[in-house]
Structure 1
Amino acid sequence: MQTEHRINVKNKKESSWKTWYRQLRPHTLTASFVPVSIGTALALLDGSVNILLFLAMLIASLLIQAATNLFNEYYDYKRGLDNADSIGIGGGIVRDGIAPKTILNVACGFFAIAILLGLYICANSSWWIAAIGIVCMITAYFYTGGPFPIAYSPFGEIVAGFFMGVVIILIAYFIQVGSISLESILISIPISILIGAILLSNNIRDLDGDKKSGRRTLAILVGREKAIRLLAFMFAVSYGWILVLIFAQIVSPWLLIVFGSLPKAVQAVRGFHGKTQPIQMMPAMKATAQTNTHFGFLVAFGLLLSYWI
């Protein structure tokens, strides 16, 4: 009986851990890890890298994104948008019975830890970072919180791409080097576009449900087919941008390795064509997220190769 009790307790703990892990939507967290890695790799090309600052920036960025995901879980539930059959949600409230207040408190706790890490970063770089960090956290909250959530508007892709792509890369670079370079700005553009593509793919998948709930996302405004074409265009611009930077000798030819991620982009676009049911579009949405991950890691690796070789 004691052995059986221990097994039940262990299974319960594992189930609880997996439940919370799912709330963080870990497949999306690479959208924070990738920009920090790229900004730090760029800094390495222009000098040395402080590992503690890198880790503080990485953890703070991950916590802010995880908190954003939890705020999304909380406010979608409060607005009656999520139910047990909803696709692509953490489901902690509607499926696993986690109290909404608990989800909100954990999100705020993540913000608090990120603030502490931010203070360390500012103390070792510049206090101007504090102002930028506050703006980022406010934006993260109002992405799904407040009376006019950004995620429910046509500007979700632009806002998410800008803050998680451009801003994170530039902060990660600045705290190491103490300045901003043209190269860091230009390399941040395709990353921001691909992060926006993740949001667009999510909105393509949820188009019908979002329309019924009164959202006005970009995918709803332009329609499903045009949204899919826009997604393909965003991929094309991202890869074309890298080619232009290479031909202009702004970045090393080693960055051509980013084209190793191109099959995932093709898979994403093809996966959306002819699909109307959310569950049918999940593989395409996953491929879009993987495109961002693979593209970003290959950019960082290409930068490191240009440093090492």
Structure 2
Amino acid sequence: MKAKVFLEFVEIKSLIASVLPFVLGSLYAVYNYHQLHLGYLIGFFIASSLFHMATNANDNYQDYLHAPRNADNQEFLEVTNVVGVNQISIRQARVITFGLGGLSLILGLWLVSRTGWPLLWMGLYSYAVGYFYAGGPKPISTGPLGEFFSGFTMGFMIFWIAVYINTYDQVALTWRGTLNVLLASGIAIFAIANIMLANNICDQEEDVALGRHTIVSYFGKPTMLRVFALNYVFGYVCLLLAVWRGVLPLFSLLTLISIIPVWHNTRLFLAKQVKRETFILAIKNATLLCLSFVLFMGLGLIWH
């Protein structure tokens, strides 16, 4: 398999969706607990990146494998799905998926042995979501909870694990601490969930043809477009609450500057939902939000 095909198969461009929460969680640990375990952090970064790629590969080959073979889906099978377009064999797809996942698992178990059992339960949840998102008899991505699991798992869980790995020897897990992490990661949770929501809004007709019943099919496109816009508001509210609780530096409030371009992109998406033209706006918004959050949180650490 050519490198270009491999990178397309694992959707390497989407890796930023897991990298940014990882960075944010690390900055959170520095701000609140004043320490980093750099070696373990690098191990987690590699493990989470490998698993992210494995999950994307699994999504692509499971979608191809389970798509109905009829005239209505020929375009999806031959033009849209990366497996069909590049004629990747199911065997190749499985070897890559489980190979990447296996390497990630080995690294993850090593980290568990070094940092403790809480990481095992966080990891088991993450691996279960990663596989059942597209695998199993009723994949998460074909139902109404895809947005929740994608936003919560990538936006919160990666953030939380990064915090835990840096503080496992200093801080006990508490409900109060978990709530603080949840609020601090809220802007990433809602931005990442909106990537999935934008995808499902754009793919509504194709999803129906493929037998998928996403949240858009339950509540309709007009309602979910309003939810799409509101999700960004909820993310900003979480940011404000986290600063108010003192778990984010005051400088983080400068992330609110991103409201202007985020609202511009949101208005463009609300006006037109075409996968090849406007879906990218949700990715741009997530990247813009998280990058600006990283920048201003980092500056807050410098002047803290």
TM-score bracket relative to the smaller structure = 0.7 to 0.9
What code does the residue aligned with 2:238 have?
A: W
What code does the residue aligned with 1:195 have?
A: I
Alignment of 1:260-279 (within 5 A): 260-275=257-272
1:131 is displaced (CA, Å) by 2.8
Distance 1:281 1:91, change over 3 A: closer
What code does the residue aligned with 1:63 have?
A: L
* Unmatched 5+ stretches in structure 1: 1-12
Q: What is the match of residue 61 of structure 2?
A: 74
CA distance in structure 1 between the partners assigned to 2:74 and 2:13 by the alignment: 20
Other structure's SS at 1:110 match: helix
1:187 is displaced (CA, Å) by 0.6
Give yes or no for contact 1:275–1:281 (8 Å, CA) kept in 2: no
Q: What is the match of residue 293 of structure 1?
A: 287
Percent identity between the two aligned chains: 24
Q: What is the match of residue 34 of structure 2?
A: 47
1:53 is displaced (CA, Å) by 1.5
Q: What is the match of residue 51 of structure 2?
A: 64
Distance 1:294 1:81, change over 3 A: farther
Residues 196-240 of structure 1: per-residue CA shift (max 9 Å, x gap):
111101101101110122211011211112111110000111123
Give yes or no for contact 2:183–2:241 (8 Å, CA) kept in 1: no
Q: What is the match of residue 193 of structure 1?
A: 190
Give yes or no for contact 1:193–1:238 (8 Å, CA) kept in 2: yes
What code does the residue aligned with 1:30 have?
A: I
Q: What is the match of residue 232 of structure 1?
A: 229
Q: What is the match of residue 138 of structure 2?
A: 148
| Count of matched residue pairs | 291
CA distance in structure 1 between the partners assigned to 2:37 and 2:264 by the alignment: 38
Q: What is the match of residue 161 of structure 1?
A: 151
CA distance in structure 2 between the partners assigned to 1:38 and 1:292 by the alignment: 13
Give yes or no for contact 1:84–1:94 (8 Å, CA) kept in 2: no
Moved more, 154-163 or 240-249: 240-249
CA distance in structure 1 between the partners assigned to 2:196 and 2:116 by the alignment: 31
What code does the residue aligned with 1:106 have?
A: I
What code does the residue aligned with 2:86 have?
A: D
Pick from 11, 24, 33 the counterpart of residue 10 of structure 2.
24
Q: What is the match of residue 4 of structure 1?
A: none
Runs of 4+ in 1 over 6 A off after TM superposition: none
CA distance in structure 2 between the partners assigned to 1:220 and 1:50 by the alignment: 45
Give yes or no for contact 2:189–2:235 (8 Å, CA) kept in 1: no
Pick from 77, 80, 98 the counterpart of residue 108 of structure 1.
98
Give yes or no for contact 1:42–1:173 (8 Å, CA) kept in 2: yes
What code does the residue aligned with 1:50 have?
A: H
Distance 1:190 1:197, change over 3 A: same
CA distance in structure 2 between the partners assigned to 1:244 and 1:50 by the alignment: 28
CA distance in structure 2 between the partners assigned to 1:183 and 1:244 by the alignment: 9
CA distance in structure 1 between the partners assigned to 2:284 and 2:39 by the alignment: 28
Pick from 227, 243, 246 the counterpart of residue 246 of structure 1.
243
CA distance in structure 2 between the partners assigned to 1:269 and 1:173 by the alignment: 31
Other structure's SS at 2:212 match: coil
Give yes or no for contact 2:187–2:290 (8 Å, CA) kept in 1: no
1:174 is displaced (CA, Å) by 0.7
CA distance in structure 2 between the partners assigned to 1:32 and 1:291 by the alignment: 15
TM-score (norm 2): 0.88
CA distance in structure 2 between the partners assigned to 1:260 and 1:20 by the alignment: 37
1:266 is displaced (CA, Å) by 2.1
* Unmatched 5+ stretches in structure 2: none
Give yes or no for contact 1:23–1:91 (8 Å, CA) kept in 2: no
CA distance in structure 2 between the partners assigned to 1:261 and 1:59 by the alignment: 29
